[in-house]
Amino acid sequence: MRGMNMSPSESGAEIGFTWPIRVYYEDTDAGGIVFYANYLKFFERARTEWLRACGVEQDRLAQEAGALFVVRSTAVDYRAPARLDDLVRIVSRTERIGRASVDFSQEAWRDGTLLATGTIRVGCVDRVALRPAAIPAPVLAALRRGPTVTAPRVSTDNA
Amino acid sequence: MRGMNMSPSESGAEIGFTWPIRVYYEDTDAGGIVFYANYLKFFERARTEWLRACGVEQDRLAQEAGALFVVRSTAVDYRAPARLDDLVRIVSRTERIGRASVDFSQEAWRDGTLLATGTIRVGCVDRVALRPAAIPAPVLAALRRGPTVTAPRVSTDNA
Amino acid sequence: MRGMNMSPSESGAEIGFTWPIRVYYEDTDAGGIVFYANYLKFFERARTEWLRACGVEQDRLAQEAGALFVVRSTAVDYRAPARLDDLVRIVSRTERIGRASVDFSQEAWRDGTLLATGTIRVGCVDRVALRPAAIPAPVLAALRRGPTVTAPRVSTDNA
Amino acid sequence: MRGMNMSPSESGAEIGFTWPIRVYYEDTDAGGIVFYANYLKFFERARTEWLRACGVEQDRLAQEAGALFVVRSTAVDYRAPARLDDLVRIVSRTERIGRASVDFSQEAWRDGTLLATGTIRVGCVDRVALRPAAIPAPVLAALRRGPTVTAPRVSTDNA
């Protein structure tokens, strides 16, 4: 499966889930480097694919369970710049999976260079009022199980 | 009022409606210039303010009339680059106001330099099914009247 | 290779080059659909990968040949909306390869639904003055040859 | 001057510098609210205008002093959502002005509702190598003086 980088003896939770991102012109700014706010986009793409690898698709979650994941807080440190055409790899781990929110630790790497690190808190809300809500039980179980290579609903696009 | 540039003897329809846009890092790319796709954002901001100057706010339009304006087609020619910190002025005119769609002609200028020209077709759709719908009659009348300096619902922010 | 969809008897030029794009929250707007300006980003990602499949990387082109490709004009028709989590496929063809510019015809599809079509003219400029310049001869030859599955510099990320 | 909100007896440093931002479609996502990453754009626009009100323009800073401000770290808490057509006001304060970096505290408000708070560290680098550099002395003095209503180089656009 695209993006998974696990040796057989290691679980996704221990190693992290890797998702590749190519840098295009849209991602850069006049400083010649990736615009810092765009790391939040990169991190979100990786969390979305982590969710998908857990068997959770956010559009279905909204339609079937009336639940949205929203970002509560973000903290990002920028270590080194990425540039046009770079291939960046986002490594994502869950630090805490609570009843109504999840804390992610995420890193952006280009080969052996750490570009940025982020801590992102994502909360579950009901779709209409946008008020905090418990993560639906089957979703919570899926998140705690983590990405599974054989998950039946895992996307295989780009494979 | 911010952005209007009409001499007393000229109507908005003849002269066009001018809206200023400052170029920030977010707008630029690694070529050192404004990323071309962002002119569509600049043009949309200007159309939104043109609508507001006509007394039409899109959030109310959606909530009260169940109508959305969506973009049907865009055509943009790029003439000269804009750069960080430039002050760009968007001039907007309606070329055709139909029952269900409006054609805008828009230009981006920096002082006397024409940066880009665009032709944008905007259509009215119902909010739920996203199917073409007639523009609500009072809105259509407001668009045909055009921006009015004394419009009571015109935003005065940034003034 | 990711994104190529060619039967053995057909060339890339005849069929088009396909690149998959997943829709994330960053791509959508409050209408619940992909923000129309973002199709220009999708089209650019696909053109960039088409170039890469031709053996051309834009960062090297800038550094080694002092040449940039810039967008001269865009024309996009929007047919049907794309939504969160959709998998969109961009099909790209060159309509004309001139000495200093290339015309692309591009389409966005979700399964059998045509979402948007675009005509994009890309011109070559020198990196410093941003003035029109001839496409360097080896690059021009590579573009005319088109994407090659066995191109040695073709990216294999995400494969 | 646009965006300044200071009573005569209070300095910019004590009160904060206010910059208005209108929410357009480009800023929203399919959740119907402002996409969280875009608060970093809003905060940057406000910091840029704060700098301009201090008499510092970043394009000149790069060209004349070879210095760029780059973002070192960001931390944002999201309190309440903003929606299409909202008028958001960004209040910016400097918490620390060091020799090579500045810490900003920024808030996004819609009327009396606090939408988001951010802490942003901005560092000075030399333009070519992107390595940390001391803030040029006249710029440092201007930052310590803070925004001045009568600053000769303050932009008066949109006024």
Question: A109 Cβ partners below 8 Å, 6+ apart?
Answer: A88, A89, A90, A91, A115
The tens digit of pLDDT for each residue in A88-141 reads 999 999 999 999 999 999 999 999 999 999 999 999 999 888 899 999 999 999
Q: Report ipTM (2 d.p.).
A: 0.85
d(CA B112, CA B87): 12
d(CA B94, CA B12): 10
Residue C29 to residue D26, Cβ atoms within 8 A = yes
pLDDT at D104: 98
pLDDT at D63: 85
Residue D74 to residue A76, Cβ atoms within 8 A = yes
Cβ neighbours of C114 in B, within 8 Å: none
- Please give the CATH superfamily to which domain D15-145 belongs: Hotdog Thioesterase (3.10.129.10)
pLDDT at A59: 82
How close D84 gets to chain A, by Cα (Å)? 16
Is the pLDDT at C15 greater than 80, yes or no? no
* Side-chain half-sphere CA neighbours of C36 within 13 A: 28
pLDDT at D159: 32
Q: Is C83 exposed, middle or buried (CB count within 10 Å of its CB: 0-12, 13-18, 19+)?
A: middle
pLDDT at A149: 54
Is the pLDDT at D1 greater than 80, yes or no? no
Specify whether A111 is catalytic. no
Measured CA angle at D134 (ends D16, A113), to 5 deg: 100
pLDDT at D62: 86
For residues D50 and D100, the answer to whether their CB atoms sit within 8 Å is no
3-state secondary structure of A18: strand
3-state secondary structure of C71: strand
- Please give the CATH superfamily to which domain C17-145 belongs: Hotdog Thioesterase (3.10.129.10)
Is the pLDDT at D138 greater than 90, yes or no? yes
DSSP state, D136?
Answer: P
The tens digit of pLDDT for each residue in C73-107 reads 999 999 999 999 999 999 999 999 999 999 999 99
Domain A12-145 falls in which CATH fold? Thiol Ester Dehydrase; Chain A (3.10.129)
How close A23 gets to chain C, by Cα (Å)? 9
Residue C26 to residue D33, Cβ atoms within 8 A = no
Q: Please, what is the end-to-end C-alpha distance for chain C in angstroms? A: 6
Q: Please indicate if any CB of chain D lies within 8 Å of the CB of A123.
A: no
Pick from C71, C64, C28: which is nearest to C48 by CA? C71
- Interfacial A residues in 15-54 facing B (CB < 8 Å): 25-26, 28-33, 35, 37
pLDDT at D12: 42
Cβ neighbours of C24 in A, within 8 Å: 41, 44-45, 48
Is the pLDDT at B10 greater than 90, yes or no? no
- In 3-state terms chain A splits into helix, strand, coil percentages (rounded to 5) of 25, 35, 40
Residue B25 to residue A30, Cβ atoms within 8 A = yes
Q: Tell me the residue type at C44.
A: E
pLDDT at D129: 86
* C-alpha pair distances (Å), B41 with each of A23, B26, B45, B106, B126: 21, 12, 6, 12, 23
For residues D89 and D22, the answer to whether their CB atoms sit within 8 Å is no
pLDDT at B106: 98
* Domain chopping of chain D, boundaries: 15-145
The tens digit of pLDDT for each residue in D43-89 reads 999 999 999 999 998 888 888 889 999 999 999 999 999 999 999 99
Q: Given the DSSP bridges, would you call strands C101-110 and C87-97 parallel, antiparallel or unpaired?
A: antiparallel
Pick from B142-151, C62-71, D28-37: least confident: B142-151
d(CA B118, CA B121): 10
Cα-Cα-Cα-Cα dihedral of C21, C23, C27, C31, to 10°? 140
Higher pLDDT, A58 or A72: A72
pLDDT at D110: 98
Report the chain D residue with the minimal C-alpha distance to residue B69: D25
Report the chain D residue with the minimal C-alpha distance to residue C35: D26
d(CA D77, CA D43): 13
